[in-house]
Amino acid sequence: MTERRRIFRVGLTGGTGAGKTVVARYLVSWGALLIEGDVIGREVVEPGSDAWKALVNAFGQEILLHEGTLDRRKLAHLVFTDPAARAAHPPLLSRLHETIQRVEQHAGAHGRILVVDAALIFEWDILDWFDRILVVVASEESCVRRLIEDGLSEAEARGRIRSQLDPLEKARRAHEVIRNDGSLEELETAAREVWERFQQAARA
């Protein structure tokens, strides 16, 4: 993007189960503004919306709960098994862009840092929206363990992980990489170091 802005944009991403949401919480606790891609995704697929209709047309009534809302677990299964379902649809990216602009308008002083937490930043090809890309990576076994703790079966967990872009490829293209195979204390320390570099860059 080429528009002038005072805010410093960070795209935060990582494979499912890698721990990017925990990193996002740390960054917010230190002063970052946050936009969650999952929240935007839920907004644009409210029952009756154009995106909701498109999903139902594409995948059928079986992705709906009784009250007409999307069955997010079934939809997630589709997203992680069907490449076409992972493609960004215009309403989602449009809403995300509008939300970023709205937050920036109310962000205040130069040097504020905005973190956009979204799993598919690379897949959506929106790297140029951001000043920095931060990727959280972890071993497959670490990710599987966390996903099982969240209620998935081992097969579901491994399927989701292996359907995504190779974490090493994301890491290669990122400005900052945090590896999350240790303790929460180690993760917080690594995130703090990255945060300090972001602050320096935002003030430059």
For the cut 50, the answer to whether the pLDDT of residue 155 exceeds it is: yes
For the cut 50, the answer to whether the pLDDT of residue 1 exceeds it is: no
Give Cα 103 distance to the centre of its chain.
17
Per-residue confidence band for 109, with pLDDT thresholds at 50, 70 and 90:
low
The CATH homologous superfamily for domain 8-44+89-203 is: P-loop containing nucleotide triphosphate hydrolases (3.40.50.300)
Per-residue confidence band for 40, with pLDDT thresholds at 50, 70 and 90:
confident
Stated as kind and residue range, the H or E segment containing 171 is: helix 167-173
Report CA Rg, the chain.
17
List, for residues 156-191, the tens digit of each pLDDT value.
Answer: 889 888 878 888 899 999 999 999 999 999 999 999
Q: Where are the domains of the chain?
A: 8-44+89-203
Q: Are strands 33-36 and 132-137 parallel, antiparallel or unpaired?
A: unpaired
Describe the crossing of helices 184-203 and 20-29 by its angle, rounded to 10 degrees.
Answer: 60
- Residue 195: strand, helix, or coil: helix
Give me the pLDDT at residue 78, please: 63
